[in-house]
Amino acid sequence: MSGAGEGEAEDISTVDNYQRLQIAPNPDGTITRLAKFPESPPTSDPKLPTPVLSKDIPINESKNTWVRIYLPRHALDHSSSKLPLVVFYHGGGFILFSAASTIFHDYCVGFATDVPVIIASVEYRLAPEHRLPAAYEDATEALHWIKTTPDDWLRDHADLSNTFLMGISAGGNIAYHAALHADVDRLHPLKIHGLILQQPFFSGTQRSGSELRLANNPAFPLSSSDLMWDLSLPIGASRDHEYCNPTVGDGCKKLDRMAVGRRVLVTGWDGDPLIDGQIEVAKMLEENGVHVVCHFAEGGYHGVDIIDASKGEALFVVVKNFIFSQTAS
């Protein structure tokens, strides 16, 4: 999710990807994030004219993790009818952005309005300062925090027994691994009914057809993707590590413990270099007894659902059907 654009471009393989991602490596293994992405504050005052209220609550102050909760305004007037809860993990290749980033804040406001749902958008630790599995640990810690928090918005308006894990790009990867690592018994009364993987960030050492075809895609060139994995995976791990490539090794053997009610929605665009990998993960899930709903569309690019409001609104319809069809079943 480093930019916008679609289709092929001139060869950009010689571009410095640190510069492209607007980061600078430091001798101690950390990075300096040179870009200052706009951030939006939460809006919790019901007197303000906003369709969705939001507020930030700490999860683990020692890790500086927190959650931004989004509550559709109309829920305040219908306290007897609780809404599904979506636990959302933002994108950014594990190294960029925040739950407060305007691009994700605005997306969550639109999502909570159109679907409608209550959203808990999780602020997790970033790599390379905190390499994987740190983000997965924060993701599952957030679930346990949600089930025990005395927060009145979640207590009074969220149906914890009807929870969905959702993420875009790296956030989709985090949602997938959170579902694998979550302890179902310890989460009660929170019950995960489904998993929503929006253009999930997966790869491998063997290049897929779409990675080769779109290696120089201006929205998300393969070299930038590789750098993000280099900065995020455990030191010395290859892209065939289970965090990056769930289709190799023992990945499929771990699906038995997936805490998502065995239902997964996978979305993508054929202008995204990652689409073939996303399709392979969907096939692996289906072959192992998971009910998979695929929504792969023509055109687009990596991150288009966030950047292009019309594409995002169209996806909200798909997600709404998935969430409420599971609710009814």
End-to-end CA distance of the chain: 34
310 is catalytic: no
Catalytic: which of 138, 159, 272, 276?
272
Q: Is 203 a catalytic residue?
A: no
> Cα–Cα distances in Å, from 185 out to 159, 188, 205, 220, 241?
17, 6, 35, 39, 28
* Amino acid letter for position 93: G
Which residue is catalytic, options 193, 276, 302, 305? 302
Per the CB < 8 A criterion, the answer to whether 162 and 85 are in contact is: yes
* Number of C-beta neighbours around residue 88 at 10 A: 29
| Dihedrals phi, psi of 266, to nearest 5 degrees | -120, 125
| CA–CA distances in Å: residue 150 to residues 64, 79, 142, 198, 307 | 20, 16, 14, 30, 34
For the chain, how are helix, strand and coil distributed in percent, rounded to 5? Answer: 35, 20, 45
SS3 127: coil
Question: Hey, what are 249's tokens?
Answer: 């090794």
Element (H, E) at 107: helix 102-114
Q: With contact defined as beta carbons under 8 Å apart, do 206 and 280 qualify?
A: no
Per the annotation, the verdict on 272 as an active-site residue is yes
For residues 9 and 311, what is the distance between their CA atoms, to the nearest angstrom? Answer: 22
CB 204 within 8 A of CB 239: yes
User: 141 with 149: CB under 8 angstroms?
Assistant: no
- Both tokens assigned to 329: 């079943």
CB 162 within 8 A of CB 327: yes
Q: How far is CA 200 from CA 59, 150, 232, in A?
A: 25, 32, 15
Q: Which residues are marked as active site?
A: 169, 272, 302
